[in-house]
Each structure stands twice: as structure tokens, then as C-alpha cells.
Homo-oligomer: A and B are copies of this chain.
Amino acid sequence: MEQYSVQLDGLLVALADPTRRAVLSRLGRGPATVSDLAEGFPMALPSFLKHVRTLERNGLIRTAKSGRVRTCELNRAGLAPLEGWLTEQRRIWEDRTDRLAQFATAPAPQEQE
């Protein structure tokens, strides 16, 4: 539970940046080399590489080096902890809605004689 929570913290911080979200959207269309990816973003390569490393460290992408070329690929399963948390929240709301509905339709308690 604690480890799951720490993992989710890192994942959410990794997503809380427009450049990193844009990289994920780009990689959703297919793998790309770091150089090709970097061309789409108005920043120096070292800054861009930091974003790539943050995404990789938090399990959102995988990278592999062949010679001098590093290729990035989306890891779709990386979003699973966040999707799991959202599903859990909806379950909590639905349980509450069910309880409220039960309360509204339950017969009024009988007075003691």
C-alpha cells in the first residue's frame, strides 16, 4: 500500500508537466528516437533529456540504445496505477450513492409500543 502510494506520487509528478505529457502523446503514435522527439520541443537537449529520464524512471516509457541512437517507446501499462486509483474513487462514490438510495427507500422505523 505504502509502496503503491509512493509509485503513484512519482507518476503524478511525472505527468504534471506539459512537455512530458506531450512526449507521451507523441509516443502513443509510435516509437521515436530521442533526437526526433527533441526537435518538436523548444528547449536545449540536456533539459529535454531530463524529461525523458523522468518519464522512464516512473515507468511511463522504455528506452533502448543502439549504437549512438536512443529510441523511446511508450509503456502503456505505466498509467495503470493512476487508472486504478480513479476506478477506486468511482467505487467509493457509487457505494455512497447506493447507501443513500437504500436509506431513501427503507421503511420508516416502527415506534416502540
Give the B-binding residues of A (Cβ under 8 A). 5, 8-9, 12-13, 15-18, 21, 24-25, 28-30, 74, 76, 79, 82-83, 85-86, 88-89, 92-93, 95-96
Protomer copies: 2
Q: How far is the CB of A40 from chain B (nearest CB, A)?
A: 15
Which B residues touch A24, using CB under 8 A?
A: 89
- Are B83 and A79 in contact, with the CB atoms below 8 A? no
Consensus secondary structure, chain A interface? helix
- Are A18 and B30 in contact, with the CB atoms below 8 A? no
- Are A15 and B18 in contact, with the CB atoms below 8 A? no
Contact of A96 among B18, B30, B85 (CB under 8 A): B30
